Amino acid sequence: MNETVKFSCVVDGSPRYRHEAWIWSTTLLRIARRQPSEVVMHLVEGVDGREFDFLRDLGVEIRTVPRFDERHPYSNKLSQLHSEALRDADLVVLTDCDIAFADDVDGLFSGLKMVAAKTVDLARPSYDHWRRIFAAAGFDSEPGLALATHSREPTFARNFNGGVYVLTREAFAAIGSAWPRWNRWLLDRPEVLGDLTFHTDQVAFGLATHELGLAVYELPPRFNYPTHLVDPLPSDPVMLHYHQHLDDAGYLRTIGQDAVDAKIRRVNRVLAAERHAAS
């Protein structure tokens, strides 16, 4: 693959996010074997960048970005959309901090058209709720239908889990204005999402890709595998989305699926070795 790739996350100021950023960068470099030049960590204004000097020393680019909107801290991830560090990449991978890379990720780009993402684990919002969102947004069409990967309940076909988005250069440029616009549209109208405002950035992404008509490839769950849900799906995961499902020592918890637990133990061995080397 000759395309240039950038992997990016946004780190907020709490100790939780700093620990997650360490897991993210360590596993991306040590297990997924990505080059430091492919990795960009964006720090929200106010985060002490000195904590990540060890990454700068490795060649990882560290950028500071403004807060997106005080009403919804989880939408700070949108601040990376105008980062100069990502603009010229052929492929951009935007992830949450709570992603651990458990294997080689080259398959992440197979089948990519303009956008690749995984359908949500659970149908939040539900399909009926999405119909109301479409009506409020002024869309004439009905939302496309898909089933949530874990609960198998109906939802909008572009209701993607926000943990992993893969974008071509064209898609990244197109979504740079549409995604923030829909995000603020939702924040200005909290009644549209009601008690699901937590999912504002995720819903806004779905609205933006629908409005723009971006061709989407649905990622298999192994590239955004939730480890926090009961009754986990059998899988041989590549990227573990652990949602704070950590033990008291800060390592990923196993879940009772042999293939998944083998990958979790692999991640934990690498993290333990990095801690030991740094002590």
**pLDDT(27) > 90:** yes
Q: Output the CA angle 10-93-184, nearest 5 degrees.
A: 55
**pLDDT(7) > 60:** yes
**pLDDT(69) > 70:** yes
Question: Averaged over 174-178, what is the pLDDT?
Answer: 97
Q: Which residues of 230-248 are buried (b: 16+ CB within 10 A; e: fewer)?
A: eebeebebbbbbbeebbee
SS3 sequence of 141-197: CCCCEEECCCCCCEEECCCEEEEEEEEEHHHHHHHHHHHHHHHHHHHHCCCCCHHHH
Of 208 and 18, more confident: 208
Question: Averaged over 159-167, what is the pLDDT?
Answer: 98
- Residue in 133, 44, 116 with CA at minimum distance from that of residue 80: 44
- Residue in 92, 118, 148, 151 with CA at minimum distance from that of residue 218: 118
Average pLDDT, rounded, for the chain: 96
According to the model, what pLDDT value does residue 14 have? 84
- Side-chain-side CA neighbours of 157 within 13 Å: the count stands at 12
**pLDDT(13) > 90:** no
* Identity of residue 24: W
Whole-angstrom distance, CA of residue 20 vs CA of residue 16: 6
**pLDDT(1) > 80:** no
CB 224 within 8 Å of CB 140: no
CB 90 within 8 Å of CB 6: no
* Identity of residue 46: G
According to the model, what pLDDT value does residue 230 have? 82
According to the model, what pLDDT value does residue 278 have? 87
Selected from 3.90.550.10, 3.20.20.20, 3.40.50.300, 3.40.50.1820, the CATH number assigned to the domain covering 5-278 reads 3.90.550.10
Q: How far from 173 is each of 88, 153, 155, 214, CA to CA, in Å?
A: 10, 32, 27, 12
Query: Regarding beta strands 239-241 and 99-101, do their DSSP bridges make them parallel or antiparallel, or are they unpaired?
Result: antiparallel
CB 5 within 8 Å of CB 38: yes
Domain positions in the chain are: 5-278
According to the model, what pLDDT value does residue 95 have? 98
**pLDDT(132) > 70:** yes
**pLDDT(127) > 80:** yes
**pLDDT(263) > 90:** yes
Please give the model's pTM, rounded to 2 decimal places: 0.96
Whole-angstrom distance, CA of residue 189 vs CA of residue 4: 38
Q: 162-176, 200-214, 230-244, 254-268 — which is least confidently predicted?
A: 230-244
